[in-house]
């Protein structure tokens, strides 16, 4: 490996928010570009520094597809070296081993569809609906829906729900060879229809009904029609929450001790209406997820907010690819957000 050091991409894992997003995007792009990467200062600013279980699972997932040689692949590691080999399309299983987010594992694997030569099926076990990560419903109904507009081919099936702290969730990800095309997703289509789901595992079904009623009432007061389904299941972990979608933007709220069911529904709706109000096609969460795909699709998108996650992803992508991202304020047609596009040959 030493003779490759001159060609290795160096990424500072403490950049801006210094989270796991840096690791996930870096190993994914390393596999795609076949450029080795060294990530230093991983999560240096966090209370529990270094790689957590879910980051290790993300790296192992990409490693399986490109038979990478990896140094520093263990929990709490603050430095990682990832040396990819040729991507080989094959099915596999990955277990986060905790309630760590399966959505973040999926987020790491999605770009690999751009270089595989046949469909890949992945079974992922862990947490499907946990704090500080996109719910699996968001990935299924927002992320993949938006990427499909660019020509992306992939889908997610939810087999079991998994909540903190036991986890136990299971999903099946299928990605197919994809070639992206340019699209303009700038303004949110005027839409007064909201669909969603209340998911409830092991709790009284009346809780689901109260959450749905609360959300529906707030939506109706604001002039929206609602179609919110209820999913009551049994499993090894217990949890409840709601996911809502309006066009290409989404919002959620997880239940927790001390938070009334009516507030769960209300908070989710308020989060959704806040995104809709900006008039931009992408919410702040999709704003960072879309960054690697903008380069490969040559697309332009409008986002409600530029988060540190977005800027972090831009930092990583620009380290791997000959590209410069341009962010500009967008205020037209009652919209108030930001335009993101990228240009090649930044030198």
Is residue 1 over pLDDT 50? no
Q: Is 285 annotated as a binding residue?
A: yes
SS (H, E, C) 307-342: CHHHHHHHHHHHHHCCEEEEEEEECCCCCCEEEEEE
What is the DSSP code (8-state) at residue 8?
A: P
Report pLDDT digits (tens) over 227-285.
999 999 999 999 999 999 999 999 999 999 999 999 999 999 999 999 999 999 999 99
Give CA–CA dist 292/33, Å, rounded.
12
What's the CATH code, domain 89-178?
A: 3.65.10.20
Band the pLDDT of 292: cuts 50, 70, 90.
Answer: very high
pLDDT of residue 172: 98
Give CA–CA dist 278/247, Å, rounded.
13
Band the pLDDT of 347: cuts 50, 70, 90.
Answer: very low
Name the residue among 212, 210, 96 with its Cα closest to residue 162. Answer: 96
Average pLDDT over residues 320-328: 94
- What percentage of the chain reaches a pLDDT higher than 90? 90
Average pLDDT over residues 115-119: 97
pLDDT of residue 5: 57
- What percentage of the chain reaches a pLDDT higher than 70? 97
What's the CATH code, domain 1-86?
A: 3.30.110
> Angle formed by the axes of helices 102-109 and 53-66, to 10°?
30
Four-residue CA torsion sign, 30, 125, 168, 241: positive
Instruction: Using DSSP bridges, classify how beta strands 323-330 and 193-201 pair: parallel, antiparallel or unpaired.
Output: unpaired
Give CA–CA dist 337/127, Å, rounded.
32
Could you tell me the two tokens for 334?
């009652």
| Fold match flag (1-86 vs 89-178) | no
Q: Is 280 annotated as a binding residue?
A: no
pLDDT of residue 322: 87
300 and 339 Cβ atoms separated by less than 8 Å: yes
Three-state SS for 103? helix
Three-state SS for 176? coil
Three-state SS for 84? coil
Q: Is 50 annotated as a binding residue?
A: no
pLDDT of residue 287: 93
Instruction: Assign domain 193-278 to a CATH class.
Output: alpha beta
Average pLDDT over residues 305-326: 95
Average pLDDT over residues 5-17: 87
Residue labelled with tokens 């795909």: 293
pLDDT of residue 2: 43
Report pLDDT digits (tens) over 41-89.
999 888 889 999 999 999 999 999 999 999 999 999 999 999 999 999 9
pLDDT of residue 3: 41
Domains in the chain: boundaries: 1-86, 89-178, 193-278
Average pLDDT over residues 215-220: 98
Give CA–CA dist 53/133, Å, rounded.
14
Name the residue among 87, 144, 98 with its Cα closest to residue 124. Answer: 98
pLDDT, mean over the chain:
94
pLDDT of residue 18: 80
Three-state SS for 36? coil
Query: Is 309 part of the annotated catalytic residue set?
Result: yes
Could you tell me the two tokens for 84?
């990819």
Band the pLDDT of 7: cuts 50, 70, 90.
Answer: confident
324 and 315 Cβ atoms separated by less than 8 Å: no
Catalytic residue among 63, 125, 309, 319: 309
Q: How many other C-beta atoms lie within 10 A of the C-beta of residue 132?
A: 8
Is residue 171 over pLDDT 70? yes
Average pLDDT over residues 185-201: 96
Q: Is 283 annotated as a binding residue?
A: no
More confident residue, 109 or 7: 109
pLDDT of residue 6: 55
170 and 111 Cβ atoms separated by less than 8 Å: no
What is the DSSP code (8-state) at residue 280?
A: B
Report pLDDT digits (tens) over 309-318.
999 999 999 9
Average pLDDT over residues 186-195: 95
């Amino acid at each position: 490996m030493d003779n490759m050091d001159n060609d290795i991409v160096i990424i500072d894992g403490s950049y801006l928010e210094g989270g796991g997003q840096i690791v996930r995007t870096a190993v994914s792009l390393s596999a795609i570009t076949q450029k080795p990467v060294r990530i230093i200062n991983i999560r240096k600013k966090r209370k529990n520094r270094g790689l957590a279980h879910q980051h290790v699972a993300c790296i192992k997932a990409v490693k399986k597809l490109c038979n990478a040689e990896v140094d520093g692949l263990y929990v709490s590691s603050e430095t990682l070296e990832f040396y990819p080999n040729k991507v080989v399309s094959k099915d596999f299983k990955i277990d986060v081993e905790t309630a760590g987010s399966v959505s973040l594992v999926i987020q790491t694997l999605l770009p690999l569809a751009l270089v595989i030569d046949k469909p890949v099926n992945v079974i992922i076990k862990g947490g499907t609906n946990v704090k500080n990560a996109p719910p699996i419903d968001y990935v299924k109904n927002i992320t993949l829906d938006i990427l499909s507009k660019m020509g992306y081919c992939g889908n997610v099936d939810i087999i079991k729900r998994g909540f903190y702290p036991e986890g136990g969730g299971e999903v099946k990800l299928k990605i197919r060879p994809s070639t992206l095309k340019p699209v303009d997703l700038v303004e949110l289509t005027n839409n007064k229809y909201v669909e969603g789901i209340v998911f409830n595992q092991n709790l009284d079904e009346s809780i689901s009904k109260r959450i749905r009623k609360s959300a529906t009432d707030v939506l109706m007061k604001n002039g929206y029609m609602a179609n919110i389904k209820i999913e009551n299941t049994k499993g090894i972990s217990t949890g409840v929450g709601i996911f809502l979608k309006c066009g290409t933007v989404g919002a959620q709220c997880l239940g927790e001790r001390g938070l009334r069911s009516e507030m769960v529904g209300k908070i989710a709706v308020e989060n959704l209406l806040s995104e809709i109000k900006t008039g931009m096609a992408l919410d702040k969460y999709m704003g960072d997820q879309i960054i690697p795909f903008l380069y490969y699709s040559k697309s332009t998108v409008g986002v409600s907010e530029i988060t540190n996650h977005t800027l972090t992803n831009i930092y990583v992508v620009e380290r791997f690819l000959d590209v410069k991202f341009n962010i500009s304020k967008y205020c037209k047609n009652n919209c108030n957000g930001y335009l993101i596009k990228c240009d090649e040959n930044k030198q």
